[in-house]
Homo-oligomer: A and B are copies of this chain.
Amino acid sequence: MEKVNLKSINLKKKLIKIFKKFGLSNDHASISADALINAELVGAYGHGLSRLKMYCDRISKGVINPKPKIKIKKISKSISHIDADNSIGFVAADIAIKTAIQNAKKTGIGMVAVKNSGHYGLSGYYAEQAVKKNLITMIYTNAPPAVAPHGALKSLFGTNPICFGTPTGSKVPFILDTSISMINRGKIRVAAINNKKIPKGVALNKFGRPTTNAKKALEGVQLPIAGFRGSGLAWMIDILSGVLTGGNHAGRVKDPFDDFSGPQNIGHLFITFKTNLFVKNYNTRIKDNIRRIKRLPKIKGVKEIMYPGQNKYKRFKMNTKKKIKISKIIEKDFEILKH
């Protein structure tokens, strides 16, 4: 494959064709293609095209349902519950965030829980949708075991991201999308594929000893941020997205790459609310907030204090313009999946 422009219609068409070949409807294929391309555009390669083959493999093996009957149950005007029927996660999350947006627009606050879903890529991608509709959002999802609870010798929590998004009164949204592990599992996976080392202090091997070898880290345990605090946050997210929603929890979410013994049944929780519930001038207030923080004296070498989401937006803008070389491994995946 040659260098491609990620925003090119050709790439999207190619992805849609592959997903449809594996049984997805045109709509679901398009939603999934958009999510993968977006991950590449923001530079989150661990959540982008490198996962295409995994999704297709899971459909082939019957653990992602290409023709899900997704049920949306209204609990109240603000609250909805979605049974995603083991759809590809992108589709479940797309419906969920749209429902959460609708609920918040009607009542001021929306809460949508999802069960029987799968890996949906980047939480920030869905947060952006709510922020574009001028809402604040908090999004939680669990994930397969990767991080050991504080005091334990075995992984159980996923890298469970905390995601928060808010309008900023400018075109660049504030999107915090931070894993509670020292390092993103996707990044370790990419490092393992490319035979690169990972930083010190982020993972242990399967014997509980520190390692910088990405492959050994994948067999071992990732460390949570800030010891018992990060462990507590990961536990909170497992409760909010798993215990509460009816999804899997407590380490039962299957690894999408390695475990084809059944669907993942990941749970997600989406909370959305209006910015003007309590103040009339939210945009002015948040602009002032950001301006004051950016004006602080900086550590030597720091040019600008960036808010969460700003760097990602810059990468997005840059990557929409230039052509990108797709790695040989992904090129090979494309070839396999086409036929």
Interface, chain A (partner B; CB < 8 A): 75-76, 78-79, 81, 107-109, 111, 113, 115, 136, 148-154, 156, 162, 164, 166, 174, 176, 178, 182, 208, 225-226, 228-230, 232-233, 235-236, 238-240, 242-246, 249-251, 271, 273, 275, 277-279, 282, 285-286, 288-289, 292-293, 296-299, 302, 304-308
A115–B75 CA distance with the chains assembled, in angstroms: 30
B-chain residues with CB within 8 Å of residue A297 when the two chains form the complex: 152-154
Across the interface, do A275 and B109 meet the contact criterion of CB distance under 8 Å? no
Q: Are A108 and B78 touching (Cβ within 8 A)?
A: yes
Which of A107, A113, A296, A304 gathers the greatest number of chain B CB atoms within 10 Å? A296
Chain B residue, CB-CB nearest to A271: B271
The residue among A75, A148, A232, A249 with the most chain B CB atoms within 10 A of its own CB is A232
Cβ contacts under 8 Å, A108 to chain B = 75-76, 78-79
In the complex, A293 Cα to B155 Cα: how many Å? 10
Complex-state Cα separation, A286 to B81, whole angstroms:
19
In the complex, which residue of chain B has the Cβ closest to the Cβ of A208? B299
Known: A152-B299, A244-B277. A225 touches B230 (CB 8 A): yes
Which residue from chain B places its CB closest to the CB of A115 in the assembled complex? B278
Identify the interface centre among A228, A249, A250: most chain B CB within 10 Å of its CB: A250
Question: Is A178 a contact partner of B232 (Cβ separation < 8 A)?
Answer: yes
Given contacts A108-B76, A166-B239, A282-B244, contact A81 B277 (CB under 8 A): yes
Q: Which of B153, B273, B302 contacts A111 (CB 8 A)?
A: B273
Distance from A234 Cβ to chain B, minimum over Cβ atoms (Å): 10
* Least CB separation from A273: chain B residue: B111
Evaluate whether A278 and B225 lie within 8 angstroms (CB atoms) in the complex, with A152-B296, A176-B236, A297-B154 already known.
Answer: no
Knowing that A76-B109, A149-B305 touch, tell me 10 more A-B residue pairs with CB under 8 angstroms: A78-B78, A79-B277, A136-B239, A136-B244, A148-B296, A154-B296, A164-B236, A235-B293, A243-B289, A251-B292
25 residue pairs of the A-B complex, CB under 8 angstroms, read A78-B109, A81-B278, A111-B277, A136-B244, A148-B296, A151-B298, A152-B299, A156-B293, A166-B239, A176-B235, A176-B236, A178-B233, A225-B229, A226-B226, A232-B307, A235-B293, A235-B307, A236-B308, A242-B289, A243-B285, A243-B286, A244-B279, A244-B282, A246-B278, A250-B293
